[in-house]
Amino acid sequence: MYRIEVNGRWCKKCGICVEFCPVKVFTEQADGSPVPTYREKCTGCRMCVLRCPDFALEVEVEKSEGK
């Protein structure tokens, strides 16, 4: 599974990450903020990271407990 972080201070709520995610991990809150609602679907392609004009996203492999 992947850890998906949205930096709220940098995000301008443009919706690019929501639109470009090929597996639709993100949903938008009422104010336009992206939320990784379906992070179990994430394939780690990082399209959201590559398309974000504000560098507000981070996608990393989630480390297992005890390793």
pTM: 0.86
Q: Which helix (H) or strand (E) holds 18?
A: helix 16-20
The pLDDT value given to residue 65: 64
Q: For residue range 23-64, list pLDDT tens digits in order.
A: 999 999 999 999 999 999 999 999 999 999 999 999 999 987
SS3 55: coil
pLDDT at residue 67 greater than cutoff 60: no
Complete domains list, the chain, with CATH: 2-61 (3.30.70.20)
**Closest to 49 (Cα-Cα) out of 2, 1, 30:** 2
d(C-alpha 8, C-alpha 54), whole Å: 11
Looking up tokens 């005890």, which residue turns up? Answer: 66
